């Protein structure tokens, strides 16, 4: 089995991705591994979509570790604009510098050039991602569905040219084109232009076997029977129509909680105590209790 | 696995075309991406090949889930390359892709009574278009539905565009733009004498729509759904709810599907309900469970109902007042206003009126379009 060298060109095959990710504790199914492989080979951005808590953000983190390169993360939110995402001038420093220079003999143009130089530039994630010196970083644009259309339009420009123009400094070109991973919770439909440009991967809730493998990978010491109980329990809870269906993150939280509490097995009382790991709202907790914890623990979830 | 169709560039392009006909949004860019993916993956006819194409050609969950069926239909047609030949024939004809009309979907809701003998037969023509614009939704005939559908969507999209342009033109001074201020201060020895302002970035507002689907309101509501769908492009967020005795959040349905599929899902939901309307109760549910959607920023609230409420008018008034406190504008659409003799005399309607900013009709396309100035 060959392991990859530190650049994307070294990713040998889909198998290498699966194996490499597993070594790093991330269980990726073949479909996701294929998408990641294509993303690195074709240098196309990849859009990972799915419900909360299913490891979308993890994909980028593991990819960065796998490629032995830096991870740069941009967390999107409503109202995210260029100054928070790309760059901003350090105004306080600039004002001070101007004051200091007041008496100096330089011309106005020279002063201006000094004040608008790299020294006074605050690099935000998007700019950082194209300035990395040694190798292509992984640029994670998290929850792009929370940003608005204007930001999407800007992002499109960036993803096509990988250059940013700063009026005072000129155009900055990427030294190494970053690997771009976008995640979305599907809270709104993304723009067509962006979707057309990306490879796509929909992450579904895992099957029983897959979730077991995930728990084993992330919590190596855990007892097999306990892990099986937790996974079965959460899989049953997923069949209820909660407003926030628990993802694998919640399964791992629950399993970890049991380990910390020193429980050997998951019974109704323990489930009641750890309900907060699984349910994130009053209505959901009520629904789970109404379905009966005993029942959920003993039922075998549908395949 | 044995493949019926040889895998080469030509067949991949045909597959992409086939996929487009099956509803996937595969254009030139995605087709090229698919070809490149296949080239990189090399090994033909493997699971990876399918995964690779799926990653390259899909753009959302619905396409993702339907992909397997489409893939198998094309590549594994029992030894005859049947689907491939179909695609070839279709490409030879080079027809335009006609969006599937949902006219038939409305028929389940609208009664199948014979229309008045005065209804004209021709659909095309300016006078017929005029007639369709003024035709009350609940009296439409089957053939008119699809024609009206097309006109409506086109006009609503134009409205959506106009609204977004309107926002951009409005020029208000916003915060101080530090960067430009500093630049101009350099020549002033560092004193920010000339302040430069940022143009206030117009934020598209949010829209919350509540649609009454009890009894006769159903027909109007389902038409207003198109209104909500078309406006999704303009508003930051459109939250849509159906209500009768309680509230159902159908926002996701409108987001994720093409209009015909969404309408079908919605008419199924609508068909399942019966019994009196609880407007006050539904508003209470909205305030309690979805209050956050009303709270944030610039929200426009539209409710479509005839005001016939089996609950108490006090509850209705109280809950509506609570909504009014949180939103920028409250619009009540009552299809009965389309009738000349209507007066809002029912208890429910008169209890609600004091809290309503705009009281308008929404019984035909024309009245819907007139809403534009209130948005």
In contact, A102 and B190? CB cutoff 8 Å: yes
Kindly state the DSSP code that residue A302 receives in the 8-state scheme.
P
Most confident stretch, A9-18, B88-97, B132-141: A9-18
Distance CA B48, CA B150 (A): 41
Interchain contact, B30 vs A44, CB within 8 Å:
no
In contact, B59 and A195? CB cutoff 8 Å: yes
Tell me the mean pLDDT in the region B244-249: 83
| A78–chain B nearest CA distance, Å | 10
Q: Are residues A108 and A39 in the same domain?
A: no
Report which of A168, A163, A154 is spatially closest to residue A129, judged by C-alpha positions: A163
Predicted confidence (pLDDT) at residue A269 exceeds the cutoff of 80:
yes
| Inter-helix orientation angle B142-169/B217-231, to 10° | 40
Distance CA B55, CA A36 (A): 10
Cα first-last separation, chain B: 57
In contact, A49 and B59? CB cutoff 8 Å: no
Share of chain B above pLDDT 70, in %: 72
**Chain A residues with CB inside 8 Å of B256's CB?**
186, 189
Kindly state the DSSP code that residue B99 receives in the 8-state scheme.
P
Angle at A250 between CA A235 and CA A218, to 5 degrees: 100
CATH 3.40.50.410 fits B206-374, yes or no: yes
- Mapped onto helix, strand or coil, the DSSP state of residue B371 is helix
Domain assignment present for residue A270? The answer is: yes
Interchain contact, B51 vs A202, CB within 8 Å:
no
- φ and ψ at A196, to 5 degrees? -65, -30
> Most distant CA pair in chain A: distance in Å?
83
Interchain contact, B185 vs A98, CB within 8 Å:
yes
Tell me the mean pLDDT in the region A245-265: 91
Q: Are residues A161 and A286 in the same domain?
A: no
| Inter-helix orientation angle A14-23/A56-66, to 10° | 100
Q: Are residues A49 and A159 in the same domain?
A: yes
Interchain contact, A94 vs B29, CB within 8 Å:
no
| pLDDT for res A5 | 34
Per this entry, what is the length of chain B? 375
Going along chain B, which residue ranges are E strands? Answer: 173-176, 197-199, 206-212, 237-243, 247-249, 299-304, 329-333, 358-360
Question: Which is it for strands B173-176 and A71-75: parallel, antiparallel or unpaired?
Answer: unpaired
Q: Are residues A67 and A148 in the same domain?
A: yes
| pLDDT for res A96 | 87
- Mapped onto helix, strand or coil, the DSSP state of residue B353 is helix
Q: Which of B19, B28, B47, B59 to mutate to test the interface with A (most CBs of A within 10 A)?
A: B59
| pLDDT for res B119 | 37
What token pair was written down for A163?
A: 């250059």
Is residue A42 very low, low, confident or very high in pLDDT (cuts 50, 70, 90)?
A: very high
The position carrying tokens 């493997």 is: B46
How many C-beta neighbours within 10 Å does residue A63 have? 27
**Chain B residues with CB inside 8 Å of A77's CB?**
none
Q: Find the CB nearest B255 among A41, A49, A189.
A: A189
**Chain B residues with CB inside 8 Å of A148's CB?**
203-204, 236
- Mapped onto helix, strand or coil, the DSSP state of residue A148 is coil
Mean pLDDT for chain A? Answer: 88
Question: Which is it for strands A138-142 and A71-75: parallel, antiparallel or unpaired?
Answer: parallel
- φ and ψ at B312, to 5 degrees? -85, 140
Q: Find the CB nearest B186 among A41, A111, A196.
A: A111
Report which of B168, B132, B177, B170 is spatially closest to residue B153, judged by C-alpha positions: B132
Interchain contact, B58 vs A192, CB within 8 Å:
no
Kindly state the DSSP code that residue B233 receives in the 8-state scheme.
T
Beta bridge partners of B210: B241, B303
Q: Which of B42, B51, B175 to mutate to test the interface with A (most CBs of A within 10 A)?
A: B51
Q: Are residues A220 and A280 in the same domain?
A: yes
Higher pLDDT, B373 or B55: B55
Interchain contact, A14 vs B61, CB within 8 Å:
no
Q: Find the CB nearest A42 among B36, B58, B186.
A: B36
Q: Are residues A149 and A253 in the same domain?
A: no
Interchain contact, A38 vs B55, CB within 8 Å:
yes
In contact, B304 and B102? CB cutoff 8 Å: no
Q: Are residues A97 and A220 in the same domain?
A: no
Most confident stretch, A160-169, A192-201, A259-268: A192-201
- Tell me if chain B has a CB within 8 Å of the CB of A201: yes
Distance CA A112, CA A101 (A): 10
Q: Are residues A146 and A220 in the same domain?
A: no
| B328–chain A nearest CA distance, Å | 19
How many C-beta neighbours within 10 Å does residue A33 have? 22
- Mapped onto helix, strand or coil, the DSSP state of residue B342 is coil
Domain assignment present for residue A123? The answer is: no
**Chain A residues with CB inside 8 Å of B232's CB?**
189
Question: Which is it for strands B173-176 and B197-199: parallel, antiparallel or unpaired?
Answer: antiparallel
Interchain contact, A95 vs B232, CB within 8 Å:
no
Tell me the mean pLDDT in the region B312-324: 88
| pLDDT for res A110 | 85
Distance CA A139, CA A130 (A): 9
Q: Find the CB nearest B51 among A34, A89, A94.
A: A34
- Mapped onto helix, strand or coil, the DSSP state of residue B129 is helix
Mean pLDDT for chain B? Answer: 74
Is residue A43 very low, low, confident or very high in pLDDT (cuts 50, 70, 90)?
A: very high
Tell me the mean pLDDT in the region B321-350: 82
| pLDDT for res B114 | 34
Contacts of A241 (CB under 8 A, 6+ apart): A287
Predicted confidence (pLDDT) at residue A1 exceeds the cutoff of 60:
no
Going along chain A, which residue ranges are E strands? Answer: 46-50, 71-75, 87-89, 121-123, 138-142, 163-166, 170-173, 179-184, 199-203
In contact, B221 and B251? CB cutoff 8 Å: no
Chain A to chain B Cβ contacts (< 8 Å): 102
Predicted confidence (pLDDT) at residue B37 exceeds the cutoff of 70:
yes
Predicted confidence (pLDDT) at residue B78 exceeds the cutoff of 50:
no
| pLDDT for res B48 | 87
- Tell me if chain B has a CB within 8 Å of the CB of A44: yes
Question: Which is it for strands B329-333 and B299-304: parallel, antiparallel or unpaired?
Answer: parallel
The position carrying tokens 């207003």 is: B224
- Tell me if chain B has a CB within 8 Å of the CB of A90: no
Domain assignment present for residue A233? The answer is: yes
**Chain B residues with CB inside 8 Å of A95's CB?**
182, 190
Instruction: List residues in chain B touching A: CB distance below 8 A.
Output: 25, 27, 29-30, 33, 36-37, 40-41, 47-48, 51-52, 54-56, 58-61, 64-65, 178-179, 182-183, 185-187, 189-190, 201, 203-204, 232, 236-237, 255-256, 289
Distance CA A247, CA A239 (A): 12
Predicted confidence (pLDDT) at residue B148 exceeds the cutoff of 70:
yes
pLDDT tens-digit map of A218-228 = 998 888 999 99
Report which of B219, B210, B229 is spatially closest to residue B135, judged by C-alpha positions: B219
Interchain contact, B255 vs A38, CB within 8 Å:
no
Domain that holds residue A98: 88-118
- Alpha-carbon distances, residue B151 vs A13, A128, B123, B144, B158 (angstroms): 51, 48, 11, 11, 11
- φ and ψ at A125, to 5 degrees? -50, -45
Predicted confidence (pLDDT) at residue B123 exceeds the cutoff of 70:
no
Burial A224-243, CB ≥16 within 10 A → b, else e: eebbbbbbbbbbbbbeeebe
What CATH number is given to the structural domain containing A37?
3.40.50.300
Nearest CA in chain A to B238: A188
- Tell me if chain B has a CB within 8 Å of the CB of A159: no
Report which of A37, A39, A41, A7 is spatially closest to residue A19, judged by C-alpha positions: A37
Report which of B329, B102, B309 is spatially closest to residue B217, judged by C-alpha positions: B309
Interchain contact, B55 vs A34, CB within 8 Å:
yes
Report which of B249, B221, B248 is spatially closest to residue B334, judged by C-alpha positions: B221
As for how many domains chain A has, the answer is: 3
Q: Are residues A146 and A39 in the same domain?
A: yes
Report which of B231, B357, B239, B331 is spatially closest to residue B290, judged by C-alpha positions: B239
What token pair was written down for B62?
A: 């619905």
| pLDDT for res B200 | 59
Q: Are residues A145 and A283 in the same domain?
A: no
Most confident stretch, A33-47, A146-160, A180-194: A33-47
Q: Find the CB nearest A202 among B47, B61, B203.
A: B61
Distance CA A236, CA A230 (A): 10
Higher pLDDT, B200 or A61: A61
What token pair was written down for A174?
A: 């990427």
- Alpha-carbon distances, residue B169 vs A48, B203, B373 (angstroms): 36, 12, 16
Question: Which is it for strands A138-142 and A179-184: parallel, antiparallel or unpaired?
Answer: parallel
Q: Find the CB nearest B51 among A31, A111, A192.
A: A31
What token pair was written down for B207?
A: 């829209």
Lowest-confidence region among A119-133, B101-115, B220-234, B320-334: B101-115
Helices (H), A71-207: 82-85, 91-101, 108-115, 125-131, 149-161, 192-197
Q: Are residues A253 and A157 in the same domain?
A: no
């Amino acid at each position: 089995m060959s392991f990859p060298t530190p650049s994307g060109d070294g990713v040998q095959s889909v198998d290498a991705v699966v194996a490499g990710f597993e070594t790093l504790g991330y269980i990726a199914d073949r479909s996701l591994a294929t998408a990641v492989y294509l993303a690195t080979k074709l240098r196309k951005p990849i859009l990972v979509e799915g419900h909360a808590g299913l490891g979308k953000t993890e994909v980028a983190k593991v990819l960065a570790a796998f490629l032995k390169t830096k991870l740069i993360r941009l967390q999107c939110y409503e109202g995210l604009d260029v100054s928070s995402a790309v760059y901003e001038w350090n105004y306080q420093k600039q004002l001070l510098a101007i004051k200091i220079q007041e008496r100096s003999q330089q011309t106005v143009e020279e002063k201006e050039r000094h004040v608008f130089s790299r020294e006074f530039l605050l690099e935000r994630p998007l700019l950082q991602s194209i300035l990395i010196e040694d190798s292509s970083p992984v640029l994670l644009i998290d929850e792009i569905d929370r940003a608005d259309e204007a930001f999407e339009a800007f992002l499109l420009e960036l993803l096509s040219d990988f250059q940013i123009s700063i009026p005072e400094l000129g155009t900055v070109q990427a030294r190494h084109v970053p690997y771009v991973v976008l995640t979305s919770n599907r809270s709104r439909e993304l723009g067509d232009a962006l979707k057309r440009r990306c490879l796509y991967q929909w992450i579904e809730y895992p099957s029983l076997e897959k979730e077991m493998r995930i728990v084993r990978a992330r919590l190596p010491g855990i007892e097999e029977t306990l892990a099986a109980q937790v996974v079965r329990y959460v899989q049953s809870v997923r069949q209820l129509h909660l407003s926030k269906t628990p993802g694998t993150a919640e399964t791992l939280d629950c399993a970890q909680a049991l380990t910390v509490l020193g429980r050997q097995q998951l019974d109704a009382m323990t489930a009641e105590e750890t309900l907060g790991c699984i349910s994130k709202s009053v209505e959901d907790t009520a629904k789970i209790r109404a379905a009966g914890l005993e029942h959920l623990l003993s039922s075998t979830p549908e395949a | 696995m044995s493949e019926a169709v040889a895998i080469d560039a030509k067949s991949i392009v045909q597959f992409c075309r086939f996929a487009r006909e099956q509803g996937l949004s595969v254009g030139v860019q995605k087709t090229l991406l698919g070809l490149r993916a296949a080239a990189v993956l090399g090994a033909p006819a493997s699971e990876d090949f399918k995964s690779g194409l799926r990653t390259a050609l899909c753009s959302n969950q619905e396409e993702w889930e339907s992909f397997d069926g489409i893939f198998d239909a094309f590549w594994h047609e029992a030894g005859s390359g049947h689907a491939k030949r179909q695609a070839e024939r279709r490409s030879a004809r080079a027809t335009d892709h006609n969006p599937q009309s949902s006219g038939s979907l409305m028929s389940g809701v609208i009664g199948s009574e014979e229309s008045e003998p005065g209804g004209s037969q021709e659909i095309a023509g300016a006078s017929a278009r005029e007639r369709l614009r003024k035709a009350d939704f609940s009296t439409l005939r089957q053939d008119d539905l699809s024609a009206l559908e097309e006109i409506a969507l086109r006009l609503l999209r134009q409205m959506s565009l106009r609204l977004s342009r309107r926002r951009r033109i409005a020029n208000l001074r916003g915060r101080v733009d530090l960067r430009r201020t500093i630049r101009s201060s350099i020549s002033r020895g560092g004193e920010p004498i000339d302040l430069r302002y940022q143009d206030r970035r117009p934020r598209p507002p949010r829209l919350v729509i509540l649609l009454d689907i009890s009894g006769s309101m159903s027909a109007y509501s389902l038409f207003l759904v198109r209104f909500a769908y078309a406006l999704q492009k303009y508003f930051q967020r459109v939250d849509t709810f159906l209500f009768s005795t309680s509230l159902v959040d159908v926002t996701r349905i409108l987001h994720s599907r093409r209009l015909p599929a969404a309408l079908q899902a919605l008419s199924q939901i609508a068909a399942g309900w019966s019994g009196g309307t609880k407007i006050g109760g539904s508003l209470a549910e909205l305030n309690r469970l979805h209050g956050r959607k009303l709270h944030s920023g610039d929200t426009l609230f539209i409710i479509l109902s005839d005001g016939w409420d089996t609950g108490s008018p006090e509850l209705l008034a109280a809950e509506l007042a609570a909504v009014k406190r949180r939103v920028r504008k409250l619009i009540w659409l009552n299809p009965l206003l389309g009738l000349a003799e209507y007066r809002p005399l029912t208890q429910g309607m008169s209890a609600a009126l004091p809290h309503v900013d705009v009281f308008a009709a929404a019984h035909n396309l024309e009245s819907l379009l007139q809403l534009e100035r209130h948005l």
